[in-house]
């Protein structure tokens, strides 16, 4: 049944929105420009246009300093899965702050709530006899996986296995190793990255990287063959791990073709190369199953999670370590009298308490079933946009979607970079009360899990209005 897109009223009143290009005059905007260095931001442009100042959140909406409400179509940064005003999560944080506001996990110590959280994560992950290591961010979790992979091979008498394979357009964080693993040139240029030993292979995006007349199955086989040749060229005896997001978020919501990961995993196993899953975006229900690797059909040796682990309410991440890898690390730590890795805030009790409450809420919601159903609604409502003259492809699974903007549908030609069409759509969406994210000329949606069918229809209606506005502004008629 086709989704009918139409304008709906929302519970949060939308006031008139000031121009997004007007230099900011509010006190907070001035303070921000004077003192704050922003992540992933053009600093000079920020000094001209200033910030979007968000003051509060309510359900799937955030509200700025002018009282303008927006549907937060990106859950902040893919993470506010339970929205922006969940009292149970706030209560969990308060109770833990009043009980044990901080303790650490070094030298055989643990907050009780942290141990309970580790148990709950393992129950959901269904990785037999796995162990959980805690950190504070996705970047830290991915860095930790690489160190564990190196330690694993070193303990087994293969210290030369150090290289790591990652995808072009993958994103794995902003730390030195995380940025190196990321296949995004803007993460490298200013810093002299990537580090030596990081190998980037083709992005598994059939729409952009498939050859003329090549089916998805043929494309998949070609990429796996290329990977095998690259492994042989680098020397499998030198390669520690392969890392991938099940669905590549910041690279444009790229969904690899069916069978890709199963074929890659079989290849890695033949060469004693560990399979690392970056589940930071996909983990805890985003794709319609508990974890993205379940959706995409592979089993990781190590798995990094963050974001929805605490629904974004506290900074926390983790690494799940499979039983075979843990057994080697345990033996090594005995020989060295310790596992020489960890962070002051690993397993922080307040973050752990919030995460534990979030996982309780997910189970009560039956999150995989819920996000699968809402995902079907989302993609059904998005599908008519394939007829829009700006849209070349719509992709995604569950409550995550990407829309590829093209200048010409037949040739799949991209717009000239100078036009910044994706950025134009992002700004136009804000004018229509919707926050999306553009990665170049790909538009991403990853709304909170609590979004309902009516709000999904409203979100897509606002996105269509933004697309029409940009199409008209660039000299065309929708």
Q: Which residues contact 187 (CB under 8 A, 6 or more apart)?
A: 171, 174, 179, 193
What CATH number is given to the structural domain containing 460? 3.90.1150.10
Q: Residue 9 belongs to what H/E stretch?
A: none
**pLDDT for the residue 19:** 44
Residue numbers of the domain that contains 65: 27-80+367-473
> Regarding beta strands 401-405 and 442-445, do their DSSP bridges make them parallel or antiparallel, or are they unpaired?
antiparallel
**pLDDT for the residue 26:** 87
Query: What are the angstrom distances between the C-alpha of 215 and each of 160, 205, 221, 261?
Result: 38, 12, 10, 17
pLDDT in tens, 373-429: 999 999 999 999 999 999 999 999 999 999 999 999 999 999 999 999 999 999 999
Q: Which residues of the chain have pLDDT under 70?
A: 1-25, 476-478
Last residue of a domain, one of 326, 347, 365: 365
pLDDT in tens, 295-317: 999 999 999 999 999 999 999 99
Last residue of a domain, one of 365, 394, 428: 365
What distance in Å separates the CA atoms of residue 290 and residue 448, rounded to the nearest whole number? 15
Same-domain status, 167 and 198? yes
Report H helices in 277-346. Answer: 292-296, 323-336
**In a 10 Å sphere around its CB, with 0-12 CB exposed, 13-18 middle and 19+ buried, how is residue 335 labelled?**
exposed
Joined tokens for residue 89: 């999560």
Strand runs labelled E in 397-469? 401-405, 434-435, 437-439, 442-445
What CATH number is given to the structural domain containing 119? 3.40.640.10
**Does a structural domain hold residue 377?**
yes
Question: Mapping DSSP to helix (H, G, I), strand (E, B) and coil, where does residue 147 land?
Answer: helix
Last residue of a domain, one of 365, 393, 418: 365
In the chain, how many domains are there?
2
**pLDDT for the residue 11:** 35
Same-domain status, 250 and 318? yes
Check: CB of residue 306 under 8 Å from CB of residue 81. Answer: no
Joined tokens for residue 407: 């200048």
């Amino acid at each position: 049944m086709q989704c009918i897109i139409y304008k709906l009223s929302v519970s949060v009143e939308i006031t008139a929105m000031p121009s997004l290009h007007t230099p900011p005059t509010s006190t907070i905007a001035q303070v921000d420009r004077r003192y704050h260095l922003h992540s992933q931001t053009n600093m000079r442009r920020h000094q001209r246009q200033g910030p979007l100042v968000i003051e509060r959140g309510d359900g799937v909406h955030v509200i700025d300093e002018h009282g303008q409400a927006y549907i937060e179509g990106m859950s902040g940064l893919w993470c506010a899965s339970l929205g922006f005003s969940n009292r149970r999560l706030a209560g969990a944080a308060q109770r833990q702050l009043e009980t044990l506001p901080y303790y650490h996990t070094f030298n055989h110590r643990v907050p009780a709530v942290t141990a309970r959280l580790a148990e709950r994560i393992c129950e959901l992950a269904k990785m037999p006899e796995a162990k959980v290591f805690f950190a504070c961010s996705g970047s830290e979790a991915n860095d930790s996986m690489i160190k564990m992979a190196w330690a694993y091979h070193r303990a087994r008498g293969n210290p030369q296995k150090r290289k790591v394979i990652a995808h072009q357009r993958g994103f794995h964080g902003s730390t030195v190793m995380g940025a190196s693993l990321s296949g995004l040139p803007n993460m490298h240029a200013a810093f002299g990255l990537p580090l030596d030993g990081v190998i980037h292979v083709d992005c598994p995006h059939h729409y952009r990287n498939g050859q003329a007349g090549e089916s998805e199955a043929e494309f998949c086989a070609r990429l796996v063959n290329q990977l095998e040749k690259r492994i042989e060229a680098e020397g499998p005896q030198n390669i520690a791990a392969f890392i991938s997001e099940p669905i590549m978020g910041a690279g444009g919501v790229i969904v690899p073709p069916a069978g890709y990961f199963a074929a890659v995993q079989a290849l890695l196993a033949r060469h004693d190369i560990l399979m690392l899953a970056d589940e930071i975006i996909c983990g805890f229900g985003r794709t319609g199953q508990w974890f993205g690797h379940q959706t995409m059909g592979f089993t990781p040796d190590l798995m990094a999670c963050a974001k929805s682990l605490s629904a974004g309410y506290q900074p926390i991440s983790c690494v799940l370590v499979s039983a075979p890898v843990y057994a080697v690390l345990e033996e090594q730590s005995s020989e060295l009298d310790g596992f020489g890795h960890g962070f002051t805030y690993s397993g922080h009790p307040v973050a752990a308490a919030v995460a534990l409450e979030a996982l309780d809420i997910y189970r009560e919601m039956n999150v995989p079933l819920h996000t699968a159903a809402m995902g079907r609604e989302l993609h059904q409502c998005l599908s008519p946009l394939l007829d829009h003259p700006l849209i070349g492809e719509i992709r995604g699974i569950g409550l995550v979607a990407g829309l590829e903007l093209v200048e010409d549908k037949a040739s799949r030609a991209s717009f000239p970079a100078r036009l910044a069409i994706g950025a134009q759509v992002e700004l136009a969406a804000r004018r229509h009360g919707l926050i999306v994210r553009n990665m170049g000329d790909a538009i991403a949606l990853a709304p909170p899990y609590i979004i309902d069918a009516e709000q999904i229809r409203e979100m897509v209606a606002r996105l269509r209005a933004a697309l029409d506005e940009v199409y008209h502004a660039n000299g065309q008629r929708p």
